[in-house]
Amino acid sequence: MMNTFAFVIYPYLALTAFVVGHIYRYRTDRLTWNAKSSQFLETGALPVGIILFHYGVILALLGHAGGLLIPQRIYDAMGISGHSHTLVAYYAGLLVGNPAFIGILLLLYRRVARTRIRATTTMNDFTTLALLFLTVGAGLYNVLFGHYEVLYTVAPWLRGILTLTPAPELMRNVPPTYKIHILSAFTLIGFAPFSRLIHIWSAPVGYLFRRLVVFRRRTVRA
């Protein structure tokens, strides 16, 4: 029962909140849709922390997508065995997980230790950071000490969730630190549209293609 709630109902609740939340927020609250940067108030540990964290987390997300969403049989067909897949995932996890975790420690320290930053941090910001800390921390712990085979358990379960064919029994024997990582990640997904994380969707790719100096003309009735 608990297993079904945690690995079927809860993920779908989170994904629903994620989709509906973003649409709702974009339609009703565009004025607060930004990164809420605190660089202007104080830098301190920010430059190192923020660069480590962002690059670490973005690469980690791409790694998760590549490793979990694509079934192992496709990798097998490409000649990449489950063993070598896990090995690549382990070293890639070390390579991006460590900077992401160090980054988040530095950012968390700055949030708490610097008066100006603490004074301008909301509960929402702290919640976001705490969830990120938990997710990244548990993720890195699993890379370092977990050594659990996820390719035939967590990975197909996740694909089941996304293809609307949930298979919670796959999660039954997964170690608790993996469950923590997964549950905090889904909490983060559900919370994201109500937090500062929405700035992810504003990655300014259009800047590469537009004219540098923008003119805007208003439409006038003929």
Partner 1 sequence: MKIKAQMAMVLNLDKCLGCHTCSIPCKNVWTNRAGAEYIWFNNVETKPGIGYPKKWEDQDLRKGGWQLKDNRLSLKAGGRIDKLVNIFYNSDLSTIDDYYEPWTYDYGKLASSPARRHQPSIRPVSQITGENMDIKWGSNWEDDLAGVTETGGGDVNFRGLAHETYLQFKKVFMFYLPRLCEHCLNPACVASCPSGALYKRDEDGIVLVDQERCRGWRYCVSGCPYKKVYFNWKTGRSEKCLFCYPRTESGQTTLCAHSCVGRIRYVGVMLYDADRISEAASVEDEKGLYPRQTDLFLDPNAPDVIDAARTQGIPEPYLEAARRSPVYRMAVDWKIAFPLHPEFRTLPMVWYVPPLSPLASLADADSPETIIDRMRIPLTYLANLLTAGDVEPIRLALERLMALRSYMRANRLGDVQDDETLHRLGMTPEIADAMYNLLAVAKYRDRFVVPTTHRETEVEPHEFQGACGFS
Least distance (Å) between residue 208 CB and partner 1: 5
Among 8, 154, 193, CA closest to 71: 154
Number of residues that bind partner 1 (CB under 8 A): 43
Among 189, 196, 206, 199, CA closest to 17: 189
Least distance (Å) between residue 135 CB and partner 1: 19
79 binds partner 1 (CB under 8 A): no
Distance CA 180, CA 12 (A): 17
Q: Both tokens of residue 155?
A: 């990975």
> Quick one: which of 20, 23, 51, 87 contacts partner 1 (CB under 8 A)?
51
CB-nearer residue toward partner 1: 32 or 165: 32
Distance CA 38, CA 59 (A): 23
Residues 63 and 92 sit within 8 Å (Cβ to Cβ): yes
Least distance (Å) between residue 131 CB and partner 1: 19
Least distance (Å) between residue 43 CB and partner 1: 6
Q: Which residues bind partner 1 (CB under 8 A)?
A: 30-43, 46-47, 50-51, 54-55, 115-116, 119-120, 199, 202-208, 210, 212-221
